[in-house]
Each structure stands twice: as C-alpha cells, then as structure tokens.
C-alpha cells in the first residue's frame, strides 16, 4: 500500500501488475483497499481477474478505508483532485476508469474535465443521479426510502446494514450479512457513511454528460435497486457514443456479478483505442464585474481608480491561486476565470466579494459549469456565454450560479437559493439560477 498526497490529505492506493493499459477502480460510497487481499470478499476475486490483463490501481476516497479521515463529505471537485493525486502518485498519465455505484458520477465528471488523462470509461451500477427528481427524472430513491436507509445505517452499520438493498433475497443466505458487515466496519464509520449516503442522493451530473469524449461502456442490469436500469439507460443515452450493455436481471451486488462483469470490462478497456485529443473540455467559469465602475471613476479620478484596479487585480489573482483557478482574461472591469471544479469556483467568488468590498470595490459574480472550446488562449462556447449572462444578472455583492453548479456541489455545505428559471439575453432556453451563500456569510454589503 502507498499514499498519495493532495495537500494535507493522504490517500491510500495500491497497484498490481504491469500490463497496459492502466485501469483505475473508482469505488462506491465506501471501500478499503486491503479487502482486495481478503479471499472471502468479492473485491479479491475482482482484483485478481482485472490485474491479469491490466495494471490495476485501487484507492480509498478520503474519509473511507485507509485514507485520511475527514469531518465532511468532500464535493465532487475535491474527489477529482484526489483521483488526480492518485494518478500522479502511481505515475499514470492516462488510464481507463471503472466507476462503480457512487464512483460513477465522479468518473463522468473527471472524464469530462480531464479528457487528456482518460483513455476509456466503464460505468457499472450507476446513474447520473441516484435519487428521483420528478418529473424529468422519475427513477431512483424517494425521500421516504432515503430516510429508511439512514435509519438502517444508524442502527445496523457494521452488522450488514442495507444488505437487502445490495443483495436482495441473498442477504438472508447464511454468512452474507456477516460478510457485508465486516466490509462495512473496515470501510467507514457510521457517521461518515450517513453523510456520504445523504450527499449521494444530491449528486446530479446530467448536465455534463455531453462533455464526455472518452469511449464509454455503461453496464446495467434489470432489478438493480441501487441504480435502476432505466436510469442507467438514460446515462448511456446522454454520453456521446456510449454503449449500453444489459446484464441478466439480478441485484446490484449479486454473487454472479464478477462472472458477468469482468469479461466485458476487460474486452472494452484492453481493446478500445485511445481517443484523439480534444480541445473541448468541461470547465467551471467565473465571471466578475465591478458594479458602478463608471460612477466611481468619475467621482475619484483616473489616478485613484488606477490604484483601485491594481488592488482589485492583486486580490483576485491571490484568491484564484488559492482556489486553483486561472484568469483567462480581463473583461473590462472584471475577470473571466476557469476552474476544474464548481465548488472551488463558487467559494473563490464568495471570498472575492468581501475581500474587494473591504477595499471599496463592489462586484457581482456568476458561476457556471459547461463544455468550453479552447482556441489558442481564447475560450468560447455556449457555456462561456451562459456564465457571462448569469454574472450580469447578479446584483452588487451577489454570487449567482447555474443549476449545474448546484447539482455538482452536493456535500459542499454551500447554500443555493433558487431564483427560478431566468431568461438570459441571447440564450435559446431559460436557465435555472441560484443565489450562492455560505451558512455563515450571507451577502456582502
């Protein structure tokens, strides 16, 4: 076992084999890389089969298994950073990703955000979201079912909680519930799992599916209670060129899954050609604008205003660096910046507002996640226009964001207050817009 570092967080990972290509297992809500040594678990059999034809990398997400504990559920962009740290630690430039259950949405977002690092994508037992959101997404857990799951976790974690959900009738086979309980005790604490399960129901990556360029195989089976077959079908339909492989009916974690899963995974991963590099990538965009700049210039004069603009640039550039953003260009009296993940982008914008307000500079900001096209040093595409329009809609001290940013920020702790669908200039359809705040910040003056 080895540890990769993402800042102060250490992430446990293991590597087997030296065959091309590299296959990275992106686990579900909980895991423990040491379970791949336990012959009584399905992980050991899975690992043995996959590493015969690939260089297999397995890892534990922060807060689970042998990785560092955390006090909160990391949002998807933090998890992407963790995966990137594991790839760097294992010296992997490009890999195939096998995203399972809760690992599916994060794998989708990673493939869309970092196409240069993903050869192919295999998704099993997963969907763009796992809870129902009628009327546009009728599949998945209801609020009542989620509450029942949380109560089972509270009462029976480590004893085989949720066994019926994963195994169906096989949960009553002697030894199955006990085996599942051992896996649970090794993988995460009850409190962490409860937080993970709640956050899982809020994740929604439907808006980024079109940005995936890697060859993709979605594997699903009728009867899966974690990821309903229709939801998996919608996932495959939303990713350009994705294939849908239907397994025989059965449960999510049925005993036969390894015999059914490993052959198509290896066939797809080993034989699939590497896609051509693309200049279209998924990015989170932040647009800021100084409110009342003309009036301030007229009132204070050129020299003072130039001093203010210099202070503006220093503050903004410092915060962009802090949150991993990149200033793409100045936009008159504001900036256009790019981030790899939505949560950091929103937090950066929220920090910029008061930092500049303390210097007498009032700004507004807009945040949006979407597919952008790069042409040299220039960025274009509908996502750029959408982000700019959302920013223009904000008032002084406000940070506004699209629904996509909200959906990808599950577990971040940020507060998204719906402003309803908005008609934005030049865009063909209305956009759901949200005011973003933190639990303690409120709006800047």
Q: Are residues 134 and 165 in the same domain?
A: yes
For the segment 232-255, the average pLDDT, to the nearest whole number, is 94
Asked if 123 contacts 237 with a C-beta cutoff of 8 angstroms, the reply is no
Q: Are residues 361 and 258 in the same domain?
A: no
List the domain range (segments joined by +) for residue 321: 280-437
Q: Are residues 223 and 353 in the same domain?
A: no
Give me the pLDDT at residue 297, please: 57
Asked if 85 contacts 181 with a C-beta cutoff of 8 angstroms, the reply is no
Q: Are residues 97 and 171 in the same domain?
A: yes
Q: Are residues 291 and 254 in the same domain?
A: no
Which residues 6+ apart lie within 8 Å of 286 measured at CB? 325, 335, 336, 337, 338, 339, 345, 348, 349, 365, 366, 367, 387, 391
Single residue among 252, 271, 290 that ends a domain in this structure: 271
Q: pLDDT of 270-311, one tens digit each?
A: 986 545 455 778 899 999 998 876 666 556 666 766 777 888
Asked if 26 contacts 99 with a C-beta cutoff of 8 angstroms, the reply is yes
Q: Is residue 325 part of a domain?
A: yes
Residue owning tokens 């809760």 = 102
Closest CA to 349 of 328, 334, 330: 334
Q: What is the DSSP letter of 295?
A: H
Q: Are residues 205 and 120 in the same domain?
A: yes
Q: Are residues 93 and 188 in the same domain?
A: yes
Q: Is residue 444 part of a domain?
A: no
Q: Is residue 404 part of a domain?
A: yes
Neighbours of 93 (CB within 10 A): 10
Do the strands 55-59 and 95-100 form a parallel or antiparallel pair, or are they unpaired? unpaired
Give me the pLDDT at residue 101, please: 93
Q: Which residues in 293-393 belong to E strands, given as ranges?
A: 326-330, 335-339, 363-375, 378-380
Q: Are residues 106 and 140 in the same domain?
A: yes
Q: Is residue 382 part of a domain?
A: yes
pLDDT at 123 over 90: yes
Do the strands 22-26 and 55-59 form a parallel or antiparallel pair, or are they unpaired? parallel
Residue 6's domain is classified under what CATH number? Answer: 3.40.50.1820
Residue 326's domain is classified under what CATH number? Answer: 3.30.70.1230
Confidence of residue 445 (pLDDT cuts 50, 70, 90): very low
On the CB side of 60, CA atoms within 13 Å amount to: 27
Q: What is the DSSP letter of 192?
A: H
Q: Are residues 232 and 288 in the same domain?
A: no
How distant, in Å, are the alpha carbons of 9, 377, 419 from that of 423? Answer: 42, 30, 12
For the segment 375-385, the average pLDDT, to the nearest whole number, is 84
Structure tokens at 237: 């339909």
Asked if 262 contacts 48 with a C-beta cutoff of 8 angstroms, the reply is no
Q: Which residues in 177-277 belong to E strands, given as ranges?
A: 216-220, 243-246
**Residue 328: cis peptide before it, omega within 30 degrees of 0:** no
Q: Are residues 35 and 138 in the same domain?
A: yes
Give me the pLDDT at residue 256, please: 84
Do the strands 280-290 and 326-330 form a parallel or antiparallel pair, or are they unpaired? unpaired
pLDDT at 172 over 80: yes
Note the helical H segments in 323-381: 342-357
Give me the pLDDT at residue 347, please: 94
Q: Is residue 443 part of a domain?
A: no
Give me the pLDDT at residue 302, please: 65
Q: Determine phi and psi for 24, rounding to 5 degrees.
A: -110, 120
pTM: 0.85
Structure tokens at 300: 């204070």
In the chain, the number of structural domains is 2
Q: Is residue 245 part of a domain?
A: yes
Q: Is residue 445 part of a domain?
A: no
Single residue among 271, 289, 310 that ends a domain in this structure: 271
Q: Are residues 309 and 238 in the same domain?
A: no
Q: Are residues 292 and 221 in the same domain?
A: no
**Residue 374: cis peptide before it, omega within 30 degrees of 0:** no
Structure tokens at 105: 């949405």
Long-range CB contact pairs, 353-361, < 8 A, 24+: 353/397, 353/398, 353/399, 353/444, 354/441, 354/444, 355/315, 355/319, 356/312, 356/315, 356/316, 357/397, 357/444, 357/445, 359/308, 359/311, 359/312, 359/315, 360/308, 361/290, 361/308, 361/311, 361/312
Across all residues in the chain, what is the average pLDDT?
A: 90
Percent of the chain with pLDDT over 90: 65
Strand partners, 24: 57, 97
Single residue among 220, 248, 271 that ends a domain in this structure: 271
């Amino acid at each position: 076992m080895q540890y990769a570092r993402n800042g102060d967080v250490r992430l446990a990972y293991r590597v087997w084999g030296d065959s091309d290509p590299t296959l990275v297992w992106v686990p579900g809500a909980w895991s423990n890389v040491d379970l791949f040594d336990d012959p009584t678990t399905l992980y050991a059999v899975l690992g043995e089969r996959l590493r015969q034809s690939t260089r297999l990398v397995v890892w534990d997400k922060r807060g689970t298994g042998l990785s560092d504990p955390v006090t909160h559920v990391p949002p998807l962009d933090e998890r992407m950073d963790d995966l990137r740290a594991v790839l760097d630690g294992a010296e992997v430039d490009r890999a195939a990703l096998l995203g399972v259950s809760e690992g599916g949405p994060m794998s989708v977002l990673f493939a869309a955000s970092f196409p240069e690092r993903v050869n192919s994508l295999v998704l099993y037992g997963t969907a763009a979201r796992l809870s129902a959101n009628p009327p546009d997404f009728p599949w998945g857990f209801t609020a009542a079912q989620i509450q029942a799951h949380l109560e089972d976790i509270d009462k029976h974690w480590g004893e085989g909680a949720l066994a019926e959900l994963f195994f169906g009738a096989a949960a009553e086979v002697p030894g199955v519930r006990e085996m599942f309980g051992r896996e649970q005790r090794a993988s995460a604490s009850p409190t962490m799992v409860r937080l993970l399960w709640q956050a899982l129901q809020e994740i929604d990556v439907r808006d980024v599916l079109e940005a995936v360029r890697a060859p993709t195989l979605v594997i699903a089976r009728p009867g899966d209670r974690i990821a309903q077959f229709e939801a998996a079908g919608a996932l495959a339909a939303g990713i350009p060129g994705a294939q849908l492989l239907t397994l025989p009916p059965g449960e999510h974690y049925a005993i036969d899954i390894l015999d059914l899963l490993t052959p198509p995974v290896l066939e797809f991963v080993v034989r699939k050609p590497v896609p051509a590099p693309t200049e279209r990538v998924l990015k989170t965009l932040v647009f800021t604008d100084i409110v009342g700049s003309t009036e301030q210039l007229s009132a204070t004069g050129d020299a003072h205003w130039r001093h203010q603009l210099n202070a503006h640039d220093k503050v903004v550039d410092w915060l962009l660096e802090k949150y991993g953003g990149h200033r793409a260009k100045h936009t008159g009296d504001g900036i256009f910046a790019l981030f790899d993940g939505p949560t950091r982008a929103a937090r950066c914008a929220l920090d910029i507002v008061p930092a500049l307000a303390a210097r007498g500079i009032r700004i507004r900001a807009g945040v949006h996640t979407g597919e952008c096209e790069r042409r040299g040093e220039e960025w274009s595409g509908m996502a750029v226009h959408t982000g700019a329009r959302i920013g223009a809609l904000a008032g002084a001290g406000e940070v506004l964001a699209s629904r996509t940013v909200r959906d990808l920020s599950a577990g971040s702790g940020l507060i998204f207050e719906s402003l309803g669908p908005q008609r934005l200039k030049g865009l063909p359809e209305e956009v759901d817009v949200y005011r973003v705040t933190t639990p303690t910040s409120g709006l800047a003056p």
